[in-house]
Structures are given as structure tokens and as C-alpha cells.
Amino acid sequence: MFFVLLSNYYSGTHVMEGSGRMVVSAVGLNSQTGIIFTLLGAGSEDEEKKMKKGKKQGPPENRNKAKTQDGIALEIQPLKSEEGAESEEKEEKEEKEKKKVNVTKKEKSVLQGKLTRLAVQIGKAGLIMSAVTVIILILFFVIDTFGVQGREWTAECTPIYIQYFVKFFIIGVTVLVVAVPEGLPLAVTISLAFSVKKMMKDNNLVRHLDACETMGNATAICSDKTGTLTMNRMTVVQAYIGDTHYKSIPEPEAINSETLEVLVNSISINSAYTTKILPSEKEGGLPRHVGNKTECALLGMVLDLKRDYQPIRDEVPEEKLYKVYTFNSSRKSMSTVLKNTSGPGFRMYSKGASEIVLRKCSHILDASGQPRVFKAKDRDEMVRKVIEPMACDGLRTICVAMRDFTTEPDWDNEADILNDLTCICVVGIEDPVRPEVPEAISKCQRSGITVRMVTGDNINTARAIATKCGILQPGEDFLCMEGKDFNQQIRNDKGEVEQERLDKVWPKLRVLARSSPTDKHTLVKGIIDSTVGETRQVVAVTGDGTNDGPALKKADVGFAMGIAGTDVAKEASDIILTDDNFTSIVKAVMWGRNVYDSISKFLQFQLTVNVVAVIVAFTGACITQDSPLKAVQMLWVNLIMDTLASLALATEPPTEALLLRKPYGRDKPLISRTMMKNILGHAVYQLIITFTLLFAGEKFFNIDSGRNAPLHSPPSEHYTIIFNVFVMMQLFNEINARKIHGERNVFEGIYRNPIFCCVVLGTFALQIIIVQFGGKPFSCTALTIDQWLWCIFIGVGELLWGQFISAVPTHRLKFLKEAGHGIPKEDIAEEVLTEGADEIDHAEMELRKGQILWFRGLNRIQTQIKVVNAFRSSLYEGLEKPESRSSIHNFMSHPEFVPLSEEESRVPTIDEDCVEIEHLPSSSRNGGGGKPPGRSLHSHEFSV
């Protein structure tokens, strides 16, 4: 078979089945492929270059003429004329202004933006506290030494004074080190890395790290149907045979033997012999369906009836088929004629859409296998009692029939041939919903996530599948519409999409059927850009084909199918579902929310230590001229609360309880009121204990006081006990930090996280070693058993105090404020909205302007290098250009999914504009990645 597809005449058509050779002529941006790749962002730069080139090269006499290229009218204007130069300059200025206004305000990462903002604020507060501590220490020393005591600065005392000043500076640096939360990036990295590794076991291959935590904020999921919600395996689930309506495939014994024989022969012979059901490649897997899905379903029914179709095909090979009427859209049926071997005459087997074939049936096989008259009233009753109930269940109904000819008719007269049939059976075929999908969708809905189905199927099938999945709930106010109606409601008279119109549709929309790739992209973009709700919607999208690429790329999180997905879909996505199952999306939601919780747990623990350590160091230094916690001890505490705590709290596995609450939201603070209550409550307990031990601990333990010790005095038991009690309180408070939503049982699920248990026990063991054997380097002296027991007892008091704090209702503490909000839109700096800025990094906003200029300087150097390379490549215009490797993979940052066929040799050709068009990789022929076709002709051998 040889086809020549002309550029504009066949624009947007699809080859569904067949094999052969074809010559493909590029159809440009008007084709479906061109639209998809334009939405993906590929080829836009080339089009701009062509437009600019057309403007520059156009002669003056053609200034007002339009040249149509690939369906786009390009205005050609002279570059040399003053009027042309002014208009071009004006257009460029307007274009820049438009880009500046329409820049996409998209955060690189919601969590990273909040964390960086919070970290910078804490760091500033710590810097102020550190500076104030040093200043107070110096002023107190100077006033007391030279003012009150009346001493003079002598040369021999200079080294001593300098040592005091160095000591004060070290104390200030220690306060700063403890205050600055340098463990936040580590906690985020550990949590994300841990989640990504575990998500791989849950069939989620994460390509972009930010997608993991973004999924925790998801408020909407736009899922396709086939293969994701359903099994992508057409199956016969109901049958009407011998005057009996079976709700499932009956046993062979329940069917008359003659009827069964005719049914099996009809299905086996009257189908493409290339359609087969093969054994599974994996042990324990489902059989593989090869060929037409509907015919595979019928062959599967034959196997369910304990029969085999292959011996029948071997007995009647294709060469013995007398006549074949292939399926087409007009007759909606397929028929195969056999010549009788036992005598004269012919037998014809037919199958097709039930409403079409039943009209041509005059008889039907009854329970005894004998044909009886099938009148119009019988057909109407059958439609009412059998066909319509099947259709309401979302089934595709197929009628299997036959006819015997005693003499040879006129085979070209199809109207007479396909008539007077005898109905054998009517079957209902569906693509079954995955058994685990309804429960998964129910979990999403309980967790505040709206699931929408976007499919290319007809609306009745989509509505039925959506009802079975649980997307459509009885009594709920929802919309189900086709793509045509969807576009009529969201577009104005000019055909432009209006956000106001879209905002009236999408909140209630649950099923979008007969949708095109543009419809899916428009819906996703409209939901993301909408300002209807209190917070911006975070949208996740699933897809497997090249058509889904634009929506996958536009979504906050794109899920591509790992088995059925094309290269374009995978590269446009953020996460790949290795099992093509919707339940894996629910697991991704759990892990995303778990990342947020892990970071919040770490923040709750760290900020408690920060507040206590800074206040103790500051107050102790101001009152006693020395910090109760020495510099090395503070560094050890810092190690506990940063590195070890991040490792312990950021590796907590997710639980089903994460799906019992609504999404966090992009603007919700990291530190809630409950967390703030826990931070301040535990800080109060620790400060009371620490100051009590500092000023009265020597009396309680009957030891010498460590206050006001000389400059180089040995470690004291007093300050060692303070240090040990402080660490013990942090260890037990780390257990309290496991719960951030007011839960009472802080030990729940602690054994599910062996890393946490190892970190706590390891820290306790190291603390024993430091105290007992650390000596002067750690400013510690060995403690007795009684002293250790008291230290542990005071630490355990953290758990009891935590129960008291949990009992205090948060809603009564009106004075508590939340922290760690996202940056509101009104606070976004205007200078960020510059040309080419497609992402706003809220972390960058917290840096000083000099740092911003420094980073942007580096970025602009990189941009200038690209410009130089582009200028050098332009020197080759009109000449032989160096070999190019331009494809869709150029604008993707992850090359791991580049198909091997990309490495095949390319035959460069030059079109009329001297633009090189490459040989399309084989993946693009099969729906995969590749550059959209240009204007050159390529010969491809294909098989669909």
C-alpha cells in the first residue's frame, strides 16, 4: 500500500491500522503534531527566526504582501526603510512589554521557597542576638574592669584582655552557629532523597525532585481513562445466548452444544488472523492481546468457554476464505464467507454493532439451538431488556450472527447479502476498571483532592466508567461534557479562551469526553491560572501518549505511563508510573505530604533547641560573664539538632493518616499554631530547668558552683550536669517532635522507623562517652550514677510535659502566630518580572540585591555565550551547515529517555528556507519523541 499525504489536505489525520510504505510530507504547525509540539515549546524559536528572517529579506515591493508558510501568514517588511525600522522597533518594544506582563509566575518549589524565607529570617534574628551578646559582654567587661574596679590598661595585661575578648567573640559565634538553621537544606535533601528511593518501590520513578513535595499540595488530578483507571484489556463481561441474559461468561455446559459450536466457529474465523492472545511474558502475568482489542475480547470469550480458536484457524486458513467484507465505518460490521465442504452452498459469519446487525436479523437461535423468527417487536424488546442495560453499564455491545446460502448470490450486492441473518448472541464488552482504583479515588476525595477524567472516548462510556471508579458520586452536583461543548462554553465569539468563562465550568467538571490534546492543555492551564478558590490549585496530570505531552508539561506534576507511555510523554513528565496504575498516584500524594510533615517535625525540634540555646547562651553570658554551654558543647548540640535530627525525623515512613486531611496549600505556613504551641511550651520547660540548675543546681546536687570561674579553670560538675541535662531534654523532646498535629501517643509507629531508633540510641551512647571521657576538650567531668539518673529523669520529664501541652487547646491560644508563609503575590518584586523569566525563585528574593546581581550576571554570561553560538551558526546560512542534532530532546534537561534510534544516521536535507530538517527518529513514527516535521519529504516504512 502506498500513500501520499498532501500537506494541507490531510492535515491532522491519523493512521489507525495497516502496514506498508508511505511518503510523508510535512504539514507544519497546522497539523496535530505541530500543535502538540508548539504547546510543548519546541520549534517556537525556529518560527521566530523564520519570521525575523522573512522581515529582513523581504523586498520593499512585497512589504504589504503576506507569505503563507506552514499555514502561518508572515508579514514581510523592509529593514532599511525608516518607517519599517520604527514599526519593527515598536513591535519589539510591545512584545517585550507583553512578555513582561504575561510572565509565568511559577515557584521553583513551594517548600524550598518557604524554607529559605524562614531560614533567612531565623538567621537574621540569630545574627542580631549574636552581635548583641558580644557587645554586652565587651561593655560589661570594660565597665566592670576599667570603671568599677578602676584598673588601667597596661602592656603586661594586654594578652589577658585579648583572651577575654576572644572568649566573648567565640561565645557570639557560638550563638550564631546555634541560631542559624543550616540543617534545613540537609533535612530537605535527606527527606526528598529518602522519599524518592522509597517511591521507586511504590512504582513512582521521580525525574524531578521538586515533584515529590509538590505532589503533597495537589488539589486536583486530571487522569486519562484507558490504562490508568482501566486495565486497557477489552473483555466480554455479559452475554445474551439462547434467550438467556448472562451477567458473566457462562459455563460451556449451560449453552446448547450446537449453539456453542457455531459461536466458536464464527468468532474464530470471522476476525483478523493477526489478532491473537499470546501467553504472558512474565510468570503469573495476564495474557498478551495482539491486534484489534475488540476481537481479542471475543477470542478471550472463546478461551473462557474452554475452547481454542487456533485449531479452527488451522483447519480453515485464510486461503480458504471465499469472501471477506472488512469492517468499515458505514456498514459497522465485518463478514466472512466460507464455501461448504460437505455440500453445495455457503455460510457467512457476521459481527458488528448490535443496533446495526440486529436490524438485519430475521431469526435468532433459541435455547435448543434452533432458529426461530425474530420480529421487529422482538428486536425492540431485546433492545429494551438487553442492549440498553448493557449500554447503561458502559458496555460496548456486539452482535454475532450467521447466514446460510443454498446457491451463490451476487456478492457485490451487499444490501442483499447482509440481510436475513440469524442472531447467535449479543455480547457486552468493556475495558474493566482496575479493582484497586475505586478505593484509591475514594482516598483522594477524602484527602481533599478532586479527580477528573479526561478521555477521548464517548461520553456515555466515560460517564459509566467514572461512576464505577467513584469519580461521579450520586447526589453530587457535577458536569460531564464533551470537548465540543467544553470549547463552546469557555471561548468567546473570536474563539479565544476566557478565564472567566472557564472558571464557571471547571469547579463542577468531572468528566471531559471526546477531548483533544488542546482541550486537556486548556483545562489544566485554566485550573492552574484560576483565582476562584482561596489558594491556587495544584494540578497533577496523567497521560501516556504524545498528545498528552502539553498537559503533562503544563501541570504542576505530570505522571507519564512507564509501560504504555511514549518518549514525549515521559520527557514532559515529572514522575513516571512504572505500573501504569492510578493507585501509584495516591502513594505519591502520601509521600509528598510525608515530606512536608518530615520537614515540619524537624523544624519543631530544631526551633525549640534554637530558642533555648540562644536564650541560655545570651542570658548566661550577660549575667555570669560566661555561657553555661561551652563552644564545643554547643557544636555537639548543633550536630544533634541538625545532622542527626534531620536524619531521624526526615526518614519517617508515611501512613494512611496522611490522607485523612486536606492539602496543605501553597500559602499555608510551615509552622502551624499547634507547632508553635509545642515549640514555646517545651522551650519554657527547658529554660526553667536550665536556669534552675544554673543558679541553684550546686545546692540540689551538693556540689561546687561553676559560676564566675577563672579564665582557664578546669571543667566543673555543675556545668557538666547542665550540659548533660540539656542534651537529655533534647533527646526526649526529639520523640515529642514526631507528632506535629496534637497527637497524644508520640510512640505510635516508632518501630517502623529503625533509623530514628538508631539515631536516638546512638546519640545517647555518644553523650555518655563525651561526658565520661570527654575531659577538658569538651569541658566535661565524669558524673556519678546518681547524677546520671537525675539527668535522665529530668529528660523523661519532657515526655510528661509534652502530654500536658497536648491537653491545652490550641484554639484558646489566640496570641500564637504562624510562621513560614509563602510569599504573597503583592510582595513579589517587580524586577523579577523581566523578559525571559519563566520561574520566580522566592528564595532568591530573600538575598541581598548584590547577590541577585551576581547570580544574574552569571546567567547573562551563559545567555551571551548562547547568543555567540547562535551568531556563529548563522554564518552558515546559505552554505552547508554543520551537522545538527536538533530534536525535542534539546529542550528537555534529562537525556535518559532519549531513544536509541536517535543515534541512527540522519540524512540532512535543506528546505527552501535553508533550514535543516532531520530524519525523524523511529520513536516519532510510533508516537514518541522527535522534532515536528518540516517541509522536506522523507520515506518511512511503518507498521501500525
User: Mind listing the pLDDT tens digit for each residue in 506-526?
Assistant: 999 999 988 887 888 899 999
Is pLDDT above 80 for 306?
yes
Q: What is the pLDDT of residue 854?
A: 54
pLDDT at 52 over 60: no
Catalytic site includes residue 224: yes
pLDDT of 364: 94
Over 80: is that where the pLDDT of 409 sits?
yes
pLDDT of amino acid 821: 66
Higher pLDDT, 61 or 39: 39
* pLDDT tens figures, 693-706: 988 988 988 888 87
Question: What CATH class has 235-430?
Answer: alpha beta
Q: How far is CA 622 from the centre of its chain?
A: 52
Distance between CA atoms of residues 28 and 48, nearest Å: 14
- Higher-confidence residue of 341 and 321: namely 321
Average pLDDT over residues 722-728: 93
Average pLDDT, the chain: 76
Q: pLDDT per residue over 871-891, tens digit each?
A: 555 544 444 444 333 333 333
Cell numbers that stand for 104 in this block: 509565568
- Record the cell numbers describing residue 525, joined without a space: 492551564
Question: pLDDT by residue (tens digit) across 925-936?
Answer: 333 434 334 333
Residue 250 in this model has a pLDDT that exceeds 60 = yes
Q: What is the DSSP string of 378-421?
A: HHHHHIIIIIHHHHHTTPEEEEEEEEEESS---TT-HHHHS-SE
Q: What is the pLDDT of residue 828?
A: 42
Radius of gyration of the chain (CA): 37
Q: Between residues 685 and 45, which one has the greater pLDDT?
A: 685
What are the cell numbers at 25?
Answer: 510530507
Neighbours of 783 (CB within 10 A): 19
Per-residue confidence (pLDDT) for residue 928, from 0 to 100: 40
pLDDT band of 8, cuts 50, 70, 90: very low
pLDDT tops 60 at residue 740: yes
Q: Are β-strands 333-339 and 323-325 bridged in parallel, bridged antiparallel, or unpaired?
A: antiparallel
The pLDDT confidence band at residue 109, using thresholds 50, 70 and 90, is low
Q: Would 199-230+435-589 and 235-430 be classified into the same CATH topology?
A: no
For domain 199-230+435-589, give the CATH number: 3.40.50.1000
For residue 122, the number of C-alpha atoms closer than 13 Å in the C-beta half-sphere is: 26
Q: How confident is the model at residue 580, as a pLDDT?
A: 81
Among residues 537, 550, 540, which one has the least CA distance to residue 577?
A: 540
pLDDT at 246: 92
Residues 224, 457, 519, 548: which is the catalytic one?
Answer: 224
Residue 614: its pLDDT value, please? Answer: 83
Locate 930 and state its grid cell. 522527535
Helix, strand, coil tally for the chain in percent (to 5): 50, 15, 35
Of the candidates 891, 886, 925, which has an alpha carbon nearest to the alpha carbon of residue 33?
925
Which pLDDT score, from 0 to 100, does residue 73 have?
Answer: 33
Helix (H, G, I), strand (E, B) or coil at 910: strand
Quote the percentage of the chain above a pLDDT of 70: 74
Superfamily name with CATH number, domain 181-197+590-655+668-812: Calcium-transporting ATPase, transmembrane domain (1.20.1110.10)
Domain residue extents for the chain: 181-197+590-655+668-812, 199-230+435-589, 235-430
For residues 913 and 932, is the Cβ–Cβ distance under 8 A? no
- Rounded Cα distance, 488 and 502, in Å: 10
